[in-house]
Amino acid sequence: MSNEITFSGCDRRDFLFGLGASCGSVALSRLLADDARAAESSSPLAPRKAHLTAKARNIVFLLMEGGPSALDTFDPKTTLEKVHLQEFVREGKQKSAMESGKRYYVKSPFQFIKAGESGADMASNWSHLAKVADEICFYRGCQVDSVNHPTAMYQLNCGNRFGGDPGLGAWVTYGLGSLNQNLPGFVVLPEVSYPQGGAANWSNGYLPAHFQGTPLRPKGSPILDLMPPPGVTREQQRKNLDLLAKLNEAHAVEHPSQPELEARMTNYELAFRMQMQVPELLDLSNETAQTQAQYGIGQDATDAFGRKCLLARKLIEKGVRFVQLYNGSWDSHDYIERAHGNLVRGVDQPIAALIADLKQRGLLESTLIVWCGEFGRTPDNGVRGGIAYGRDHNPNAMTMWFAGGGCNAGHTVGATDELGMTAVEDEHHIRDLHVTLLRLMGLDDDKLTYYHAGRFKQLSQFGGEVIDKLMA
């Protein structure tokens, strides 16, 4: 006699299969959704325990959009001086008579120095950064997949060249939450013109909307409509929000699978709390004249980026988990001496001040600073109305540096070939950099996942390895 239990003519397997299309699955889904919403609604940005022991608890990401040239900043090549203006021919390829345009090697117009006790290579126009050289770990081995600005920006920020995925800051706040419930966990300081690829560079992607980056406008009101209109008191606002919350909660009960509604309700409350902290936070006049001068505020060349760097320090002090600063126009195809010279002049003093200020306040050890662009530059360039002393895009050799936050300060990791065209030592794909940054924050990329579109997704896309030499 069979032990198989039957229900109205169907066996147990058929019964359970049928249950998936019945009211039982609907009730179960509702219970699970209610539990998930209850878990998140308490505080989606509440601090969470890291997977591993963290070396840093905050990140300041300095993104030089356009792709700065390592050959003219932190990776000198004496060989370029020997072949300067010689025609470049790709190895193993004969140029066709029909091939238009010639390419020439271009030496760096800048002199280099050995900075600090570590003897770090720096172009001499980094006069302020040279003073904090021993706090920096330089990495010359990073490689990416794209030479197009938008796709390279997406890969750097989101791990995916085609956009639509969460940004690095979104992943960090998803994994660790925020240290201040009255401010966003992920703040972006863009320029007036957004970077190539736009706001998708700091999107929450498929993560809940709580984790998207909050951009602060560089001119005018940093956040539009943050403060109530004239004549509306905080008490009136509170009553309006309470009423709106009741209506939204009733709507949420009827629509349990709408996380956007939950995020909107949470953001209303966050905006209300931000009204008390943001104005004071953004007011730099409460900083001493000495501090402002240290960051270059008030000087034409350094004022804009100096304000961003000082604001980044204040955001870190207030517990913002991830702050990303943008500085554009590094796409120097022409006259790199003038282009990079002006750009370095604008960021050198503010960045050095940020490192020194964080260290003086005891915050550098727990704050990881990252400096990079979306790809590197070539040792050669084409002709545009005469020889253009600039450089083209290069995905095979990208130099970046780190300070604070458990990095291997005072060291240079990796190397490029004699011309700076390709990384040849400690070379790693950008996904390994992402995995390493997460590890410094105490996060394991293989555990920091989110179920979406039928699979568990992660920042590195398909996994990566930690670059151990970058960590102290």
pLDDT tens for 12-71 read 544 444 444 444 444 444 444 444 444 444 678 999 999 999 999 999 999 999 999 999
Torsion from C-alpha of 139, 199, 314, 443, nearest 10 degrees = -50
Q: Which two tokens stand for residue 6?
A: 């039957």
Q: Which two tokens stand for residue 168?
A: 């690095």
Identify the pLDDT of residue 156: 98
Find how far residue 466's CA is from the centre of its chain.
18
pLDDT tens for 266-302 read 665 555 465 556 667 788 999 999 999 999 999 999 9
Strand pairing report for 415-416 and 411-413? unpaired
Q: How far is CA 67 from CA 34, 146, 377, 416, in A?
A: 46, 12, 7, 17
If one compares 115 and 244, the residue with the highest pLDDT of the two is: 115
Q: Which two tokens stand for residue 222?
A: 């940093």
Mean pLDDT within 229-234: 66
Identify the pLDDT of residue 217: 79
3-state SS class at 232: coil
Angle of CA points 82, 87, 93, to nearest 5°: 120
pLDDT tens for 57-84 read 999 999 999 999 999 999 999 999 999 9
Per the DSSP assignment, residues forming a β-bridge with 214 are 187
* pTM assigned to the model: 0.83
Identify the pLDDT of residue 89: 74
Dihedral sign for Cα 25, 26, 28, 29, please: positive
pLDDT of 456 > 70? The answer is: yes
Identify the pLDDT of residue 220: 64
Q: Which two tokens stand for residue 230?
A: 């004239």
CATH of 48-76+109-232+288-377+387-470, one of 2.40.160, 1.10.1760, 1.10.3470, 3.40.720: 3.40.720
Cα(171)–Cα(154) distance, integer angstroms = 14
pLDDT of 450 > 80? The answer is: yes
pLDDT tens for 422-441 read 999 999 999 999 999 999 99
Q: Would you list the domain boundaries of the chain?
A: 48-76+109-232+288-377+387-470
- The answer to whether the CB of 55 falls within 8 A of the CB of 365 is no
pLDDT of 98 > 80? The answer is: no
Per the DSSP assignment, residues forming a β-bridge with 371 are 62, 401
What are the start-end ranges of the E strands in 116-219?
A: 120-123, 136-143, 186-189, 214-215
Torsion from C-alpha of 35, 37, 38, 42, nearest 10 degrees = 150
Percent of the chain with pLDDT over 90: 67
Q: What mean pLDDT is reported for the chain? A: 86
Among candidate residues 107, 64, 32, 83, the one with its CA nearest the CA of residue 331: 64
